[in-house]
Amino acid sequence: MLSVGCGAALGALLRYWLTSIWKRQRIDWPLATLLINLTGALVLGFLTGHLAADGAAMRFWGVGLLGGYTTFSTFNTELVAMVDERRWGSLVAYLILSYGGGLVAAWVGMQM
């Protein structure tokens, strides 16, 4: 349990740091969340393909670090904001890039 908590803390700090860098760019689109979730899917795919048998490593890296790093809740609140703002094109693009890109990234990671 300690390894999951330590990994999650590191993942959350990494996500916060990367998000703060992107916020300085003043981009009116959730690019930081998209990149974080896609890289998380890629790395988790890689780990699943290579560390699946090692439960301790997967708990730290997969459940902990990548669980703290990626963010499904932020993704969904950004989608709701796009609906509220009637930004339909951005909403559709974000959905396709997030889900489609996430599937591709996880598959590519597993093939590495």
Binding residues for Na(+): 67, 70
Helix (H, G, I), strand (E, B) or coil at 70: coil
Tokens 């795919």 locate to 45
C-alpha closest to that of 78 among 34, 42, 36: 34
- Residue 74 in tokens: 């932020």
Helix (H, G, I), strand (E, B) or coil at 86: coil
Task: Report which DSSP code applies to 28.
Answer: S
Contacts of 73 (CB under 8 A, 6+ apart): none
Q: Which residues are annotated as a binding site?
A: 67, 70
